[in-house]
Amino acid sequence: MDYDEFGLLHENAAEYDLSFDPDDPPRVERVTVEAPSGHALSALVWGEGPAELVLLHGGAQNAHTWDTVALALDRPLLAIDLPGHGRSQWRDSKDYRPSAMADDVADTVAQLAPEARCVVGMSLGGLTAIATLSARPDLTERVAIVDVTPGVNREKASVVTDFIAGPEHFASFEEILERTIAFNPTRSEASLRRGVLHNAMELPDGRWTWRYDRFTPDRIEGLDLGMAHLWDAIESLDHPMLFCKGATSPVVDADDLDELRRRKPDVEVVIVDDAGHSIQGDQPIVLAEHLVAFLDT
């Protein structure tokens, strides 16, 4: 199947009635840097001039999850493929905990977005943003977290882990798309089709598999989601913080929000209606509007 990673942006724009000139498309390019761990990290650089925002995706996603948000923002930004995801190199250690990725993410931001005003992280990317800025608060002025807190556990995250624990290989593109649709009932089929094209690849034998270093069922069973230590990291941050929760998402509950407000009394909390865990997929325009308001305050 022919695939051009930048050849689908007109579909993103059309689905959300965003302006798009095929004769003058948005400037976006893929770049790769070597991180302190010795692994290559890949990222998408959007727009002209220094990046104003850095976007970190969730587990089992990649930088293209932000495409519609990036189009709506229409600002220079950097969307990073986290280690083991997208086009970034996999780790032999299989260690993709936020604290284990923080140094590589920090170095990538320093190299490619040294003037970033805000780091935005969703799910695993949100926890990684917290770990990264706790160690390197100089990287940015502000932080926005999308639908995750250190209170996450396996029960709350089952909406994600149940999907990831599925088959490693699929007989066809239609089969991998069908499973994706079944686990994402709030998203359009066109949106999910683009997502699979960005997040999966066809093997020489015609089968399809995911592009990320997936958690096999045995790894899911032993997965430690103990992130409580990151509550202290949140408390240490002086950065203004925007927190966006999907109204129908089970990943963040009322106790999590109470603890977040206790640890970070000045946090701005926004509940996004008609959105689950992946707000950037369910309500990308609304999320972009909140980010603009937060950045321009």
Q: What values do phi and psi take at 56, rounded to 5?
A: -120, 120
Q: Find the mean pLDDT for residues 12-18.
A: 98
Q: Is residue 221 scored above 90 in pLDDT?
A: no
pLDDT band at 165 (very low <50, low <70, confident <90, very high): confident
Residue of 88, 123, 191, 249 marked catalytic:
123
Segment 97-142, tens digit of pLDDT: 999 999 999 999 999 999 999 999 999 999 999 999 999 999 999 9
> Cα–Cα distance between 129 and 99 in angstroms, integer?
9
Q: What values do phi and psi take at 119, rounded to 5?
A: -105, 125
Segment 118-130, tens digit of pLDDT: 999 999 999 999 9
Q: What is the mean pLDDT of the chain?
A: 95
Which pLDDT value is given to residue 1?
76
| Single-letter residue type at 269 | V
The three state secondary structure string of 158-208 is: HHHHHHHCCCCEECCHHHHHHHHHHHCCCCCHHHHHHHHHHHEEECCCCCE
- DSSP string covering the chain: ----TTTTHHHHHHHTT----TTSPPPEEEEEEE-TTS-EEEEEEESSSS-SEEEE--TT--GGGGHHHHHHH-S-EEEE--TTSTTSPP-TT----HHHHHHHHHHHHHHH-TT-SEEEEETHHHHHHHHHHHH-GGG-SEEEEES--TT--TTTTHHHHHHHTS-SEESSHHHHHHHHHHH-TTS-HHHHHHHHHHHEEE-TTS-EEESS----HHHHHT-----THHHHHHHH--S-EEEEEETT-SSS-HHHHHHHHHH-TT-EEEEETT--S-HHHHSHHHHHHHHHHHHH-
> Cα–Cα distance between 284 and 293 in angstroms, integer?
14
Q: Give the residues across from 181 on adjacent strands.
A: none
> Cα–Cα distance between 125 and 163 in angstroms, integer?
18
Active site residue 162: no
Residue 21: which residues within 8 A CB-CB, separation 6 or more?
A: none
**In contact, 104 and 41? CB cutoff 8 Å:** yes
The upper half-sphere exposure of residue 278, i.e. CA atoms within 13 Å in the direction of its Cβ, equals 23
Active site residue 123: yes
Active site residue 277: yes
How many residues would you count in the chain?
297
Segment 172-211, tens digit of pLDDT: 999 999 999 999 988 999 999 999 999 999 999 999 999 9
Residue of 277, 278, 282, 290 marked catalytic:
277
Q: What is the pTM of this model?
A: 0.96
Q: What is the CA radius of gyration of the chain?
A: 18
Q: Find the mean pLDDT for residues 263-276.
A: 98
Q: Is 91 exposed, middle or buried (0-12, 13-18, 19+ CB in 10 A)?
A: middle
Residue of 81, 107, 147, 282 marked catalytic:
147
Segment 270-291, tens digit of pLDDT: 999 999 999 999 999 999 999 9
Q: Is residue 220 scored above 50 in pLDDT?
A: no
